Structure formats: C-alpha cells, structure tokens
Amino acid sequence: MTTNQGVKVSDTDNSLKAGSRGPTLIEDFHFREKLTHFDCERIPERVVHARGSGAHGYFQPYESMAEYSKAKFLSNPSVQTPVFVRFSAVVGFRGSADTVRDVRGFAVKFYTEDGKYDMVGNNIPVFFIQDAIKFPDLVHAIKPEPHNEMPQAAAAHDNFWDFISLTPESMHMIMWILSDRTLPRNFRVMQGFGIHTFRFVNEQGTASFVKFHWKPLLGVHSMAFDEAQKIGGKDPDFNRRDLWSSIEKGNFPEYELRVQIIAEEDEHKFDFDILDPTKLIPKELVPVRPIGKMVLNRNPDNFFAETEQVAFQPSNVVPGIDFSNDPLLQGHLMSYHDTQLHRLGSPNFTELPINKSLCPFHNNQRDGRMQMQIPTSKVNYYPNSLSEGQPAPSPTEGLSTTKSV
C-alpha cells in the first residue's frame, strides 16, 4: 500500500497522535489524504438516467452500407468495432429499484477508427415532447415533488399528470408508458431506439434520413406489473444483476442494429413530419432493415470508472452520420455536453479512459482542470508555420454536413 504520491504506508488503521490519547497531528499526510479523498469521492449523478448498468462488447456490420453512409464502422463486415453500452432507468435516483415502471435508456458508444460515435436512445421509439425547451419542465414534473421529494422513480403523482394533461403532444408516449414496454424483464430482452431522425451521408454527399432500432435476438419480453413490484422489493438490483451474471456465465446479450432509410427527396411524402420525435414511422411505410449485430461480452472492471463516468453525447458523430432539424435533437446536442461538464468537472472528461478515443486525436485545445495530456509542441494555434501547419483540417476526410434548410 502506498499514498497517491507513491510513498509506502506502514499503518492505515491508526492516525498519528501526540501521545497515546492524541490529539491527531496534522502532519499525518496519509490520514489527511485518505479522508480528503473519501470526502470528495462522489460526483453529481445524472439528472435523468442516474440508475445505470454497463457492458463492453463489439459491433459488426452484416454488409457494407457505403451506398448510404461513408461511416467506416458500417462499411466492412470483417471489422469488429469496440462498444460500451449503458442501460438505465430514467426517473429514479442512483439508489432506486431496477424494475419500476419507467422508460429505459439504451446508449451505445462506438470506438471507431474515425473517432467516437454515440447512439443515444431509449427503449421506446417516441418521446413526450417535440421541442427541447420543454425538457426541464417535463423532468421537473416527473421527478419527486419538490416539497417532500416523493414519490421515488414513479410517474404516478399529481405533478406529472398535471403536466401531461396540459401537453397533448405527449399522448403517444403515455400509451407506451402504460404498456408492458416500461417493465422489461431484463436488459437482454429490451429494444432500443434512436428516437430522433438522423441522416446518413455517403462519399458522394448524398444524404438520406435514417431511424435507428436495436432488436434483442432473444426477443422482447416484459414483466407483469405485480411481478415487477414484488421483485423490486426483494432485489432492487434485479436487471443489473441479470446483465452482469449473464455475461459472467458466457450468455452474451446480442442485439441487431436495424434502420429505416428515407431518401431526402421523400421527406414530405408522409402525412406526418418524420422529424417529429412524438411519432414513429410505421414499418409498413418504411421497412426496417437489419444491418449489423452487437454482442456484449465483457463486464466493466470498475463501476464508477466506467459505467458512472462514461459520457454520452448525441453530438458525438463521425463522418457519414449527420443531424436533422428535429428541435428536440438540437436541444440534446447542447444539453448533453453541458451535463458532462457539470458532472465530471472539466472539459478534459474526454480523456478519461472510458471516454477516450481509440484512434489518434490531435488539436490545439490545451489546459483546463485535470489535463492528462502533456503536449510537447510550442505551437497551440492554427494557422501556423512553425509546426508546418499542423494539426490542420482535412477537407476530404473530415466531418461535413449536407443538411438542407
């Protein structure tokens, strides 16, 4: 055992005292470091999706999607892209039960050769609201009521139903909330959806609208409400335990990535807005096409370092994937980044091991709290000649947008 400075520790059970009865001496640096670190070891939990479970794995496409997207992780069926997945409840705090009636988060971080791509979604294909400006009101209404902080992880209270009764666009989502989809039997049999409409962009710059779906290969299964309540009382970690033990036993969860693709010129051929997150696109109108498979085959080594510190952002895209004008998505692109800065305390949260890109990264961003890189160049600006103009933008390989207005 050593201190964080690497000094060997001879006694970690007794503080250094002046005489047998004390007082404790301030020079006991091990005592001070041990308690100070303990006092500071909690970080703010997520405002929503606080209760989460994670797993490592890989994604592999069935065929090249180069016709629609130049994203390299979708182009080569022989390449396995590492992923980290975080499943979560939405409303409850970190200590709430797994089996409550609630929407579930389904977020996937792809560590691609072109950078990180985050596919952030839920197990319900639609959402409560159409514009992100309403998101604080929605979450305030569904969270425990502020005067007594009750009820925990539940939508069955006055504030939520008051808000919903005055928000007609939420009716589609409420039908899903009251269905068995909000009582998944476990994470291995839970669907995922990107909710928003995104864009695929190919090498020629041709864009298509795309909806993302994750389909568990074990099928979709749920609990009865009475069953979920009883299990929640006996084992609040039920879903987390199932995911962990299944992977430990070698029963690796598998999910098929499926997409609905719409040509850009067909955007207005429907009798509803395909960018509206309160609506889904019926598969009878746009077929759902399987394009690859994800396998989760390794549990995290440390819950806090990985599952708690992982930072998902819909704004993390790679060349070949682009945004749409969905106003809820546009709000999420800003809000998620704000959240990570608040929770993790530094713009350098991308350098934490679970958030770090596996491909090389170079830019002129410097300093900030907890900087983990040690840049050796004296040049930290662009344009420059002292470093031969490097690092420099790459017009042919870099991310570009083709979004029309």
The last residue of a domain, from among 351, 382, 399: 351
The last residue of a domain, from among 304, 324, 351: 351
367 lies in some domain:
no
Q: How far is Cα 193 from Cα 173, in angstroms, rounded to an integer?
A: 13
Question: Same domain, yes or no, for 32 and 87?
Answer: no
154 lies in some domain:
yes
Smallest CA-to-CA distance from 332 within 133, 172, 164, 169 is with 133
Question: Same domain, yes or no, for 37 and 171?
Answer: no
Question: Same domain, yes or no, for 266 and 193?
Answer: yes
405 lies in some domain:
no
pLDDT attached to residue 20:
86
Residues 6+ apart with CB under 8 A from 22: none
Inform me whether the pLDDT recorded for 178 exceeds 50. Answer: yes
Question: Same domain, yes or no, for 17 and 95?
Answer: no
pTM of the predicted model over 0.75:
yes
At 32-77, the pLDDT tens digits run: 999 999 999 999 999 999 999 999 999 999 999 999 999 999 999 9
Residue 14: which domain range?
Answer: 1-41
Q: How many structural domains does the chain have?
A: 2
The last residue of a domain, from among 318, 351, 384: 351
Q: Active-site residue numbers?
A: 49, 122
pLDDT attached to residue 168:
96
| CB-based burial, 255-265: b 16+ in 10 Å, e otherwise | bbbbbbbbeee
Q: Give the pLDDT band of residue 399 (cuts 50, 70, 90).
A: confident
pLDDT attached to residue 405:
46
279 lies in some domain:
yes
Q: Across residues 170-184, what is the average pLDDT? A: 96
Question: Same domain, yes or no, for 127 and 14?
Answer: no
Question: Same domain, yes or no, for 58 and 37?
Answer: no
DSSP character at residue 46: P
Within a 13 Å sphere around the CA of 373, how many CA atoms are in the beta-carbon half?
A: 18
Q: Give the pLDDT band of residue 395 (cuts 50, 70, 90).
A: confident
Smallest CA-to-CA distance from 62 within 259, 287, 319 is with 259
Residues 6+ apart with CB under 8 A from 69: 75, 200, 201, 202, 320, 321
* CATH code of the domain containing 118: 2.40.180.10
Cα angle vertex 169, ends 164, 175, to 5°? Answer: 70
* CATH code of the domain containing 10: 4.10.91.20
DSSP character at residue 304: I
DSSP character at residue 25: P
Q: Is 248 helix (H, G, I), strand (E, B) or coil?
A: helix
- Residue 119 corresponds to which tokens in the numbers above? 């596919």
Amino acid letter, residue 152: Q
Residue scoring higher pLDDT (22 or 231): 231
At 118-159, the pLDDT tens digits run: 999 999 999 999 999 999 999 999 999 999 999 999 999 999
Outline where 257-376 has alpha helix (H).
327-344
Inform me whether the pLDDT recorded for 81 exceeds 90. Answer: yes
At 159-171, the pLDDT tens digits run: 999 999 999 999 9
Q: Is 175 helix (H, G, I), strand (E, B) or coil?
A: helix
Question: Same domain, yes or no, for 4 and 93?
Answer: no
Smallest CA-to-CA distance from 12 within 21, 27, 29 is with 29
Inform me whether the pLDDT recorded for 336 exceeds 50. Answer: yes
* Paired sense of beta strands 207-216 and 321-322, if any: unpaired
Question: Same domain, yes or no, for 36 and 60?
Answer: no
Conformational region of residue 184, where left means phi above 0, alpha means psi within -120 to 50, and beta covers everything else: beta
Q: Give the pLDDT band of residue 313 (cuts 50, 70, 90).
A: very high
pLDDT attached to residue 360:
87
Inform me whether the pLDDT recorded for 404 exceeds 80. Answer: no
